């Protein structure tokens, strides 16, 4: 059982050695003040705290961390070999989550590590720390984040799910996880009920109406049999109205009636059907602005906007923290290439830096795609900068123009192109180019030789003759660059 990063606060080599038995990366601080800086930068999973500093230092450490909005991971006090029950209690009162009886207490440390890992995997709904929000009820609902903005969103999801608030509005840019948030509300509120979703932008007004309410046989041309509407199918579960802003105005007023009266009729029907479902509406447009432009009913807007769940875009400075966490999460959970995902266990610092620099217009969906692409391309056990290919739209366009694309495109060629461009971009400074690509200088030399890449003003000119009529890619910046 192991854990990724441990900060050791001790001047004793033995405490560091103990940490090395369960941690991949160990950071040593001589005192709690130095540890604060390290914790802020590396965001460790555990802190080992030498008992010699005394319990009051743990209190102080936690208070200062809190004051500076630094997330502190669990702190374990490492006691003297002879142990002392009284001291152990004192440390726990001061904020340590556990106490080791000396430097040889390896088995207890293993138990603690395993507990921390399990806790991170279970629901955090009831806790304030909310580093992770993982719903074990439904395997499909795993929402990950630790930024202040997302923790707030998690809090709202919990609140709304525990209340009787109906309808629920979820807003956020495209790809921010609105549907996932809707599923989280559903999993908490109706763990056994059905979850049905309809995209209001995908259907014509008439079709959408009969999808939602159902219709009686013969109620319109083509209605050759009776149809049950999704509001009825949702039963006592959840009905997600995705992209609600696109719902036609007259249907909006019918929806408003359902929300107020909790009943509806099928198209062409006379019987009132009770609506027990939680209605969740999601939108990536600003609905208030839509009401101003008379595209969305004001009364429906106010009805929906009671307790909105707002998901911040990934580009907001407040969500930066989520980027590495999400990247690692997708690395761990992606099934795009299971053998490779198993082998690849992390990202290089340069790769993470590149992810942090991008502004993610497609939000989490775009990030997931970038990581999955990197998994496919990576050949080592760490995702390097060279395989972080952000925004391949430009390439897509170029590729579609290249008539011989399908025949000629290969990873080898892509690698050759990329290396040539890195060299060109850095003015043939091989150390910088290697850093940019996330490979060693030696590997770069070998590849330059292998692909016979020569110095030249133009990329195409720098490539071997046979590749000159292939896809040429104009500039490097679409690949993430280092500063």
Ligand X SMILES: Nc1ncnc2c1ncn2[C@@H]1O[C@H](COP(=O)(O)OP(=O)(O)OP(=O)(O)O)[C@@H](O)[C@H]1O
Question: Given the complex with ligand X, which of 335 and 403 has the nearer CB atom?
Answer: 335
366 lies in the binding site for Mg ion (CB under 5 A) = no
Judged by beta carbon distances under 5 to 8 A according to partner kind, the member of Mg ion, ligand X, none in contact with residue 144 is ligand X
Q: Which stretch binds ligand X (CB under 6 A): 171-179, 232-240, 298-306, 429-437?
A: 171-179
Query: What's the chain's Rg over C-alpha atoms?
Result: 28
Pairwise CA distance, residues 144 & 156, whole Å: 15
**Binds 284: which of Mg ion, ligand X, none (CB < 5-8 Å by kind):** ligand X
Task: Kindly identify the residues of this chain, within the stretch 287-326, that bind ligand X according to CB under 6 A.
Answer: 326
The nearer residue to Mg ion, 80 or 202, going by C-beta atoms, is 202
3-state SS, residue 100? strand
With CB under 5 A as the contact rule, which of the stretches 127-135, 171-179, 182-190, 447-455 interacts with Mg ion? 171-179
* Structure token pair of residue 4: 């990724």
Q: Which stretch binds Mg ion (CB under 5 A): 100-108, 176-184, 351-359, 421-429?
A: 176-184
Which CB atom, from 142 or from 482, has the smaller least distance to ligand X? 142
Dist. CA 387–CA 447, nearest whole Å? 16
CA distance 435 to 350: 8
Stretch that binds ligand X, among 154-162, 172-180, 231-239, 343-351 (CB under 6 A): 172-180
By CB under 6 A, residue 175 contacts ligand X: yes
- Which residue sits closest to ligand X, CB atoms considered? 177
Q: Is 101 helix (H, G, I), strand (E, B) or coil?
A: coil
Min CB(178)–ligand X separation in Å: 3
Q: Does residue number 146 form part of the binding site for ligand X (CB under 6 A)?
A: no
Which of 234, 327 has the CB closer to ligand X?
327
Closest to Mg ion by CB, 10 or 176: 176
Closest approach of ligand X to the CB of residue 199, in Å: 8
Q: Are strands 75-78 and 98-100 parallel, antiparallel or unpaired?
A: parallel
Residue of 103, 180, 231, 309 interacting with ligand X (CB under 6 A): 180
Asked if residue 177 binds ligand X (CB under 6 A), the reply is: yes
Give min distance, CB of 212 to ligand X, in A: 18
Interaction of residue 179 with Mg ion, rule CB under 5 A = yes
Q: How many Cβ atoms sit within 10 Å of the Cβ of residue 453?
A: 21
Asked if residue 45 lies in contact with residue 6, where contact means CB atoms within 8 angstroms, the answer is: yes
Of 176, 369, 424, 467, the residue at the interface with ligand X (CB under 6 A) is 176
- 284 lies in the site for ligand X, by CB under 6 A: yes
CB nearer to ligand X: give 64 or 284: 284
Q: Which of 178, 319, 321, 421 binds ligand X (CB under 6 A)?
A: 178
Identify the residue among 38, 123, 144, 331 touching ligand X (CB under 6 A). Answer: 144
On the CB side of 9, how many CA atoms lie within 13 Å of its CA?
Answer: 28
Cα distance between residue 58 and residue 86, in whole Å:
16
Q: How far apart are the first and last CA of the chain?
A: 37
Interface residue with ligand X among 119, 179, 353, 408 (CB under 6 A) is 179
Give the range of 175-183, 285-293, 413-421, 430-438 binding Mg ion by CB under 5 A: 175-183
* Beta pairing partners, 172: 311
172 contact, one of ligand X, Mg ion, none, CB 5-8 Å limit per kind: ligand X
Question: Would strands 75-78 and 278-283 be described as parallel, antiparallel, or unpaired?
Answer: unpaired
C-alpha distance from residue 359 to each of 172, 284, 299, 385, 442 (Å): 15, 17, 35, 17, 33
8 A C-beta contact, residue 479 and residue 421:
yes
CB 472 within 8 A of CB 401: no
- Token couple for 6: 């441990």
Binding residue for ligand X, selected from 364, 377, 419, 444, defined by CB under 6 A: 364
Residue 43, C-beta contacts closer than 8 angstroms, at least 6 positions apart: 5, 71, 73, 321
Instruction: Please give the C-alpha separations between residue 414 and each of 367, 395, 422, 466, 475, in angstroms, as whole numbers.
Output: 21, 11, 12, 14, 14
SS3 65: helix
The single-letter DSSP state of residue 139 is T
Query: Which one of the spans 136-144, 204-212, 420-428, 431-439 is the region binding ligand X (CB under 6 A)?
Result: 136-144
What lies within 8 Å, CB to CB, of 165 at 6+ separation is 306, 307
Stretch that binds Mg ion, among 173-181, 271-279, 392-400, 467-475 (CB under 5 A): 173-181
Q: Helix, strand or coil for residue 123? A: coil
**Cα 254–chain centre separation:** 36
Among 368, 416, 421, 447, the residue binding ligand X under the rule CB under 6 A is 368
Nearer to Mg ion among residue 75 and residue 280 (C-beta): 280
74 binds, among ligand X, Mg ion, none (CB under 5 to 8 A by kind): none
Catalog residues that contact ligand X under the rule CB under 6 A. 142-145, 172, 174-180, 284, 326, 329, 364-365, 368
Catalog residues that contact Mg ion under the rule CB under 5 A. 179
């Amino acid at each position: 059982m192991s854990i990724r990063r441990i900060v050791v606060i001790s001047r004793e080599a033995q405490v560091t050695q103990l940490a090395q038995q369960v941690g991949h990366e160990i950071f040593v601080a001589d005192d709690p003040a130095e540890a604060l800086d390290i914790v802020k930068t590396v965001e460790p999973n555990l802190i080992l705290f030498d008992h010699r500093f005394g319990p009051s230092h743990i209190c102080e450490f936690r208070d200062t961390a809190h004051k500076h909005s630094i997330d502190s991971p669990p702190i374990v006090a490492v006691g003297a070999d002879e142990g002392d029950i009284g001291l152990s209690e004192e440390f726990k009162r001061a904020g340590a989550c556990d106490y080791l009886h000396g430097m040889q207490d390896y088995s207890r440390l293993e138990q603690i590590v395993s507990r921390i890992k399990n806790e991170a995997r279970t629901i955090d709904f009831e806790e304030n720390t909310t580093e992770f929000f993982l719903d074990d009820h439904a395997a499909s609902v795993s929402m990950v984040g630790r930024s202040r903005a997302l923790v707030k969103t998690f809090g709202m999801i919990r609140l709304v799910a525990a209340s009787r608030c109906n309808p629920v509005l979820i807003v956020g840019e495209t790809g921010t996880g609105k549907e996932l948030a809707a599923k989280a509300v559903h999993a908490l509120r109706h763990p056994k009920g059905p979850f049905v979703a309809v995209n209001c932008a995908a259907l014509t007004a008439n079709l959408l109406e009969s999808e939602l309410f159902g219709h009686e046989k013969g109620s319109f041309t083509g209605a050759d049999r009776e149809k049950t509407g999704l509001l009825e199918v949702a039963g006592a579960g959840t009905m997600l109205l995705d992209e609600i802003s696109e719902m036609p105005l007259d249907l909006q007023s019918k929806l408003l009636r359902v929300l107020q009266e909790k009943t509806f009729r099928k198209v062409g029907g006379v019987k009132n059907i009770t609506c027990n479902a939680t209605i969740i509406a999601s939108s990536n447009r600003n609905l208030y602005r839509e009401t101003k432009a008379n595209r969305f009913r004001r009364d429906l807007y106010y009805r929906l906007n009671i307790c909105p769940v707002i998901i911040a875009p990934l580009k907001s400075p407040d969500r930066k923290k989520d980027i590495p966490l999400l990247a690692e999460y997708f690395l761990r959970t992606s099934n795009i290439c299971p053998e490779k995902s198993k082998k690849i266990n992390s990202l290089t610092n340069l790769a993470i830096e590149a992810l942090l620099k991008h502004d993610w217009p497609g939000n989490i969906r775009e990030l997931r795609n970038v990581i999955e692409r990197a998994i496919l391309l990576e050949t080592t056990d760490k995702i390097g900068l060279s395989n972080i290919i952000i925004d391949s739209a430009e390439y897509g366009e170029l590729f579609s123009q290249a008539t011989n694309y399908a025949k000629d495109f290969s990873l080898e060629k892509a690698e050759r192109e990329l290396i040539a461009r890195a060299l060109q971009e850095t003015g043939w400074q091989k150390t910088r180019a290697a850093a940019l690509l996330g490979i060693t200088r030696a590997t770069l030399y070998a590849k330059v030789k292998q692909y016979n890449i020569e110095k030249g003003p133009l990329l195409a000119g720098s490539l071997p003759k046979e590749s000159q009529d292939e896809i040429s890619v104009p500039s490097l910046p679409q690949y993430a660059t280092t500063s």
